[in-house]
Amino acid sequence: MSVEAIQPAPQELSEQYEDLAQQSEAYVVGMWAFLVTEIMFFGALFLAYIVYRTAYPEVFRDAHHHLDVVLGTINTTVLLTSSLFMALAVHAAQLGRKKAQNRWLFLVMLCALTFLVIKGIEYHNKYVEHLIPGSSFQYHSVAEGEGGQAPRMSAETGFAVPQSIPRDKAQMFFVLYFCMTGLHGIHVVIGLIVMAVLAWLTSRNSPLVRDYMPVEMAGLYWHFVDIVWIFLFPLFYLIPK
């Protein structure tokens, strides 16, 4: 490979900045300021989760069995793969390889759509099972013995598993589940739209994306979305028995 082929693409200086260093710093500081507000936004929900999980651990352990670990694992794999594609898209943008950049962005968008479809299947399953919080919410504890018999003692804790889980407390688990995964899903949709716009502008050789920084900032946002899911997946799907 020739030396020229690996040289980074030249940046274009916008007129409101004194130099390229100031321009790059404005991009990075602006994006991180936005992400900090997002962290605080999700942080409130994570705090609510911690409070209720600490107060009602047996409810959360029982309720999480109603979630599909297989679908959750597939979605986790999809998002981690999309992070790789996003990193490759940023790398291609830095080298000025617009066609390669758009190909990687297309794969990221494909992963995002796959994630949303699988999450939609999960939401539909919860609707069918009447696990959507509200007046029609119905909950059947998986800890109850077959035929309504009392459950046996837990070999792990030495305590009897509750014969029934209070409906309101079980509903709180699903309130948190839908709020947190739903908010995350909204961020996935936003990322999908941003990447589609970037790919479209790049294909039209728009001056808005001649610099690689917009793609790099989109990549930073997408990695944040992936990291949030990395926390959500074990908190909801992998609760210890």
CATH number at residue 109: 1.20.120.80
> Does 5 map to a domain?
no
**How many folded domains does the chain comprise?**
1
* pLDDT of 147 higher than 60: no
pLDDT at 3: 39
> Does 173 map to a domain?
yes
* pLDDT of 157 higher than 60: no
pLDDT at 100: 94
> Does 186 map to a domain?
yes
> To which residue do tokens 């274009």 refer?
12
Torsion-angle region of 101 (φ positive above 0: left; ψ -120 to 50: alpha; else: beta): alpha
Where in the sequence is the domain holding 176, given as residue range(s)?
20-237
> Does 2 map to a domain?
no
pLDDT at 101: 94
Q: State the average pLDDT over residues 171-193.
A: 96
| Per-residue model confidence as pLDDT tens digits over 50-106 | 999 999 999 999 999 999 999 999 999 999 999 999 999 999 998 989 999 999 999
> Does 12 map to a domain?
no
> Does 3 map to a domain?
no
> Does 11 map to a domain?
no
> Does 41 map to a domain?
yes
pTM of the model: 0.82
pLDDT at 148: 40
User: Taking all residues of the chain, what is their mean pLDDT, rounded to a whole number?
Assistant: 84
| Per-residue model confidence as pLDDT tens digits over 5-64 | 445 555 565 556 555 566 667 767 777 888 898 999 899 999 999 999 999 999 999 999
Q: What are 160's strand-pairing partners?
A: 153
